Structure 1
């Protein structure tokens, strides 16, 4: 069996390693246009902020490790064409310019995503950077050392983590976003308001509800970010607007979402049975809505990549879908979320309710106890749990993984009230705060039914 893999970050690495282990006789060739593989881009802010001193820790594989498995790894090679009808591809060696053809029996598309780059006046100015891969992170670190004023455009996870890292390195930082709240795709207002205050208390300037219209500069270098509400002077700009899937190679050959994300079935097959896809190039099954969605997360990527290998020859293990579970630490606050926020659910046209609790995570008779803020979103009619968010100075983020399992198994908020959790004063109260949220959501009245007569 001849297997070609295009792209080698999270999904690609998982697919390759597992394919090599499951099918030792397979001839596996991977094409990667970068000079490194398996870079954990979620660690960029930690690297930029100096928390991680040795960036090699952000790589969990290498061409050498893949070679030990018998995999042929063609680094700095870009696939420029795929013919799924003829099961061939054409690749270019980026070092020499040489082009050649290859064939495959099974094709694995793990081409990932790329930052959205807006077409704005002044984009050609020096000092406007992207944040995605290892080379980007090194450029950001090098350029940030030479400047004082840094502007980050985009208040998602990466943008927020970067402004914190820059501020802790003593920079004057501005965060711009077109939405009125930071992290609006991940958290409801009850959580983003205190986080925004924390950022501002640390001296970070928030320019929210502002859309970037252009960039201005002097001597070819960026000096201003011009928005719908004004101007922001700067020495460096980091774009963190979002990502779009890298799927041009298969455009018109397999089914895709309007944004270009490849649609796969439960076994990671595209609309062509011998073409598989995984990771940021794909749409995934989003359990809270039951629909396909584009949620580029490393966790989704490694699961999907592993399942590609498991289902490469025959259907064995189906994908369970995802809740888009994620977490972030901002200064002293530990934050996590899963599934739909209340805002997102209403935007989807879903009839939902929510319950919000603020409590101490363990008994007040203990020497210390931190406050926990928890919100659970559920469907009004079925009472099925659709999402949850948590924030605390104490790291209680693992509780969101529990709620993720609840959503996965289509549990109700009433069931959440009575799940069996252990009690030990060091860790929690007799009613775990997840139970407490469920209890608070219980109907305030009980519908009385006529007694059954025998």
Structure 2
């Protein structure tokens, strides 16, 4: 059996490792168009901010290590076409320019996502960057040398993490967001405002409701032109979102879902026999809404790849879906969410109710106790738990979100959360943890 994998990062390498382990007799070949495989892209902002020593520290396995385990890794090889009937892929060696047809019995398309580049960002000016992979990070790092002013366009995960990283580098930072607030797709409005306030306390000039119209400069960027005037900048980072890379899947004849990502079943199979998709380019089942969603995150990609690898090697595995859990840190604030926000639930026509509880993460009398804010959402009539949003000044404290995420996977209720036997000691929580207080309050509201 010959298993061909296109893409050598999270989903692709998880699939390759699992397939080789499940069926050591199978030939597993990974084609990666870049120069690095098996690395943690989520760590890029932390290298740039100095919390991680270097980009090499993000690499989990080198090609040499993978080849020693029996996995064929071919770097700088671009897969440009698929013949699903003949079960071949067209591969171009970027070093030589030569193309060849490579056969497969099972094919995994793990091509990930690409950063969205608005028309104004398609420029030959130096100093304009996106941040998706290690080469992007290295290019941005080089641009930051000697720079004094940075402009980040986009107030999502990457933009907010980079705002802290660039301030740690000593740059003045302006963050532009077209929406009314930052973190608009992750949180309800009251919590968005708190995130913005934290970023501003960190010394970032946050400007929301601003539309970028173009860039200025000669040879190198010198500013960002907006509908509210010009922002001077030596470096511009474009972080306005991502889109799934589906061209290869489309060429293979695979069906795309309503999200624009590749439609797959629970075994990560596409609509084409023998062709699988996994990672940031694929849809997933949302266990709360029972709808197909595109939520490109690291654990999801790795888990999808693991499932695809087992199935391609002749085993049986299923990806159970996601509940939309996300977490990030910006300056001293930890931010987490899972399930649905009130805004998302209302958009789906769900009869949702939310309560807000502001307390302390540790026992109130403990010297390390810091503020924590929990917004808990449930469904009127059924009592079903729908989601949670957390903000905390001890950023580790928002990992409480995992308790709610676990219950959402079982379609649990608000009452079940209230009845949960959570751990207690003063350096960890109050005797009534803030989640229990929120569940009690939400239960009464419902």
Q: State whether TM-score is above 0.5.
A: yes
For residues 151-190 of structure 1, what are the structure 2 equivalents within 5 Å? 151-190=151-190
Query: Per-residue CA shift, 1:203-237, capped at 9, x if unaligned?
Result: 211121112122222x2322221223322121111
Normalized against structure 1, the TM-score is what? 0.94
Secondary structure (helix, strand or coil) at the match of 2:364 reads coil
Tell me the residue number matched to 2:381. Answer: 381
Whether the 8 Å CA contact 1:341–1:387 is kept in 2: the answer is yes
1:220 lines up with 2:219 in the alignment: yes
**How far apart are the structure 2 equivalents of 1:64 and 1:107?**
23
Tell me the residue number matched to 1:441. Answer: 442
**How far apart are the structure 2 equivalents of 1:365 and 1:114?**
48
Query: Per-residue CA shift, 1:28-65, capped at 9, x if unaligned?
Result: 11110101112212111111111111322201112112
Could you say if the C-alpha distance between residues 220 and 337 of structure 1 is closer, same or farther in structure 2, counting changes exceeding 3 Å? Answer: same
Whether the 8 Å CA contact 1:123–1:214 is kept in 2: the answer is no
For residues 1-400 of structure 1, what are the structure 2 equivalents within 5 Å? 1-120=1-120, 123-217=123-217, 219-251=218-250, 253-258=253-258, 260-314=260-314, 316-394=316-394, 395-400=396-401
Could you say if the C-alpha distance between residues 330 and 24 of structure 1 is closer, same or farther in structure 2, counting changes exceeding 3 Å? Answer: same
Could you say if the C-alpha distance between residues 230 and 87 of structure 1 is closer, same or farther in structure 2, counting changes exceeding 3 Å? Answer: same
Larger Rg: 1
**How far apart are the structure 2 equivalents of 1:83 and 1:228?**
47
Deviation, structure 1 residue 369: 2.0
**How far apart are the structure 1 equivalents of 2:228 and 2:60?**
43
Query: Per-residue CA shift, 1:300-343, capped at 9, x if unaligned?
Result: 00000011122225562321110121211111122211122222
Could you say if the C-alpha distance between residues 127 and 379 of structure 1 is closer, same or farther in structure 2, counting changes exceeding 3 Å? Answer: same
**How far apart are the structure 1 equivalents of 2:32 and 2:313?**
24
* Stretch moving more, 84-93 or 221-230: 221-230
Could you say if the C-alpha distance between residues 129 and 72 of structure 1 is closer, same or farther in structure 2, counting changes exceeding 3 Å? Answer: same
Deviation, structure 1 residue 119: 1.5
Query: Per-residue CA shift, 1:343-381, capped at 9, x if unaligned?
Result: 222233322111110112333343442222111112223
* Stretch moving more, 219-228 or 59-68: 219-228
Whether the 8 Å CA contact 2:23–2:313 is kept in 1: the answer is no
Whether the 8 Å CA contact 1:80–1:249 is kept in 2: the answer is yes
Could you say if the C-alpha distance between residues 416 and 228 of structure 1 is closer, same or farther in structure 2, counting changes exceeding 3 Å? Answer: same
Deviation, structure 1 residue 427: 2.0
Whether the 8 Å CA contact 2:173–2:204 is kept in 1: the answer is yes
Tell me the residue number matched to 1:452. Answer: none
**How far apart are the structure 1 equivalents of 2:420 and 2:372?**
19
Whether the 8 Å CA contact 2:184–2:192 is kept in 1: the answer is yes
**How far apart are the structure 2 equivalents of 1:10 and 1:63?**
14
Unaligned segments of structure 2, at least 5 residues: none
Secondary structure (helix, strand or coil) at the match of 2:322 reads coil
Secondary structure (helix, strand or coil) at the match of 1:102 reads strand
How many matched pairs?
444
Unaligned segments of structure 1, at least 5 residues: 446-454
Deviation, structure 1 residue 247: 1.4
Secondary structure (helix, strand or coil) at the match of 2:271 reads coil
Measured on the aligned residues, the alpha-carbon RMSD in Å equals 1.7
Deviation, structure 1 residue 5: 0.4
**How far apart are the structure 2 equivalents of 1:273 and 1:357?**
50
Normalized against structure 2, the TM-score is what? 0.96
Deviation, structure 1 residue 423: 2.6
Deviation, structure 1 residue 22: 0.7
* Stretch moving more, 381-390 or 313-322: 313-322
Whether the 8 Å CA contact 1:105–1:274 is kept in 2: the answer is yes
Whether the 8 Å CA contact 1:245–1:259 is kept in 2: the answer is no
**How far apart are the structure 2 equivalents of 1:412 and 1:336?**
20
Deviation, structure 1 residue 144: 0.8
* Stretch moving more, 4-13 or 252-261: 252-261
**How far apart are the structure 2 equivalents of 1:346 and 1:203?**
35
Query: Per-residue CA shift, 1:4-44, capped at 9, x if unaligned?
Result: 10001000010001111111000111110101112212111
Could you say if the C-alpha distance between residues 12 and 415 of structure 1 is closer, same or farther in structure 2, counting changes exceeding 3 Å? Answer: same
Whether the 8 Å CA contact 2:23–2:314 is kept in 1: the answer is no
Query: Per-residue CA shift, 1:97-138, capped at 9, x if unaligned?
Result: 011111100001111111111112873322211111101101
Whether the 8 Å CA contact 1:21–1:69 is kept in 2: the answer is no
Deviation, structure 1 residue 386: 1.6
Could you say if the C-alpha distance between residues 288 and 259 of structure 1 is closer, same or farther in structure 2, counting changes exceeding 3 Å? Answer: closer
**How far apart are the structure 1 equivalents of 2:445 and 2:198?**
36
Could you say if the C-alpha distance between residues 367 and 202 of structure 1 is closer, same or farther in structure 2, counting changes exceeding 3 Å? Answer: closer
